[in-house]
Structure 1
Amino acid sequence: MLHGTRGVVSRCRDFTAEALADWGWIPADSEEAEERVEDVLLLVSEVVTNACLHAGGPEEFVLRHGDGRLRVEVSDASPEHPRVRVSRSPALPGGHGLMVLDRLAGDWGSRDKGAGAVGKVVWLEVGRPTGRGTGRPE
């Protein structure tokens, strides 16, 4: 379980990089694989940062892999689901996290925690870079 916001983004990125290495996504043997790993780390930063900014920090960070896909889940205590804000200029800072998810993740969304728990889980999925082995099974 994660608590607060201090250092949590870098801890989640480090954990993700270690998991990707264990699962055979790193070291990358192609430019595409290297870019995909950077995309995954950016996506992790975005969803964890959003939990910090809008929900007091993440409560849980989960990675799963299988069938050529990586799934990232970040749960927090806020019942408010991500929603696209009014269009704004890409030149202005902030407010672009969902656009990053739309462009880099294969799929993403959010769901209520369920079972009477307050809060939500924001999830995203990314496909394994082509040309790589399958890594260790889940």
Structure 2
Amino acid sequence: MAKGRTFTRRALQDWGWDDTETSEDTLLVASELLTNASLHADGCHELVVAATETGLRIEVHDGTTVLPVRHPAPKPGIPGGRGLHIVERLSDRWGTHTYGTRKAVWAEIEASRLESGTPVTP
């Protein structure tokens, strides 16, 4: 997961979308997608981070077609069940698609948020 986060951070830097609150949120979204693949879906087989016409798309491809389940109400004080809530809250869109024996869980962040986000103060 650390490698995936580093890869995503470098992509954000390459596209000039780093050092903002939204870029930090984007890294958290990537981490959550990678963690979910690791815990629930035979691990991450491929991480795709792409700049699109409208912003940034993160896709985590794993080794199962079982779709993720968003827990309706994570329980306070009990670990787990929050990943997709975090993804939903911090991204502009998210979803899944299956192909063959695999699936991808994806999230998108609009460019306007990445370009005009508040700079992170050290």
Q: TM-score, normalised by structure 2?
A: 0.86
AA paired with 1:119? Answer: R
Match of 2:3 in 1: 11
Structure 1 unmatched runs, 5+: 1-8, 29-33, 133-138
Q: Percent same amino acid among aligned pairs?
A: 39
SS of match in other structure, 1:45: helix
Tell me the distance in 2 between the aligned counterparts of 1:16 and 1:61: 9
Summarize deviations over 1:68-89 as a string: whole Å, max 9, x none.
4100011111111111224232
Aligned residues: 115
Structure 2 unmatched runs, 5+: 118-122
Q: TM-score, normalised by structure 1?
A: 0.77
Q: Quick check: 1:122 aligned with 2:97?
A: no
SS of match in other structure, 2:101: strand
Match of 1:131 in 2: 116
Q: Residue 56 of structure 1: CA displacement? A: 1.9
Tell me the distance in 1 between the aligned counterparts of 2:9 and 2:115: 18
Contact map agreement 2:17 2:115 (CA 8 A) in 1:
no
Contact map agreement 1:90 1:96 (CA 8 A) in 2:
no
Tell me the distance in 2 between the aligned counterparts of 1:130 and 1:90: 34
